[in-house]
Copies of this chain bind each other. A is one copy, B any other.
Amino acid sequence: MLGEFEYLLITAAAGLADKAYGAAIREEIETTTGRKCSIGALYTTIDRLETKGLLKTWMGDATPQRGGRSKRMVRVTPKGVQAAKAFYDAVIRVSRGASWAANRTGSVS
């Protein structure tokens, strides 16, 4: 099963689509969660997810800005999407009936 931060990372990367690369993903995570995302957390997790085949990464070209360095681009693989879905479904299913979860019927309006 995915860890919680792994899920966050995959979700952020998926949302950024072809604009997904290390620093941008970090930015995204920080804005959507409101909490700090350390550099270490980011790249070690990217590495691990790539090893597991849930992400694919490659070096893109540099930002044409002062200091712009070659970016590590990220793409979520089908297997990654599947794992994310499994995580999400598990949380929803388990939470059914919990007082803190919106009392959903399972059907969507």
Closest residue of B by beta carbon distance from A100:
B85
Q: In the complex, how many angstroms separate the beta carbon of A101 from the nearest chain B beta carbon?
A: 6
Known interface pairs A4-B4, A94-B33; A88-B109 also in contact (CB < 8 Å) = no
Q: Given the complex, which residues of B lie within 8 Å of A93, measured CB to CB? A: 32-33
Number of residues from A at the complex interface, CB < 8 A: 36
Closest to A3 in B: B4
State whether the Cβ of A102 lies closer than 8 Å to any Cβ in chain B. yes
- Measured CB to CB, the residues of A under 8 A from B are 1-4, 7-8, 11-12, 14-15, 32-33, 35, 81, 84-85, 87-91, 93-95, 97-105, 107-109
Supplied contacts A85-B100, A107-B109, 14 more A-B pairs, CB within 8 Å: A3-B3, A4-B4, A4-B87, A7-B91, A7-B94, A14-B98, A33-B90, A81-B99, A84-B98, A88-B95, A88-B98, A102-B108, A103-B108, A104-B109
Chain A to chain B: the 9 pairs with minimum beta-carbon distance, closest first: A85-B100, A109-B109, A102-B108, A91-B91, A11-B94, A11-B98, A32-B94, A4-B4, A84-B100
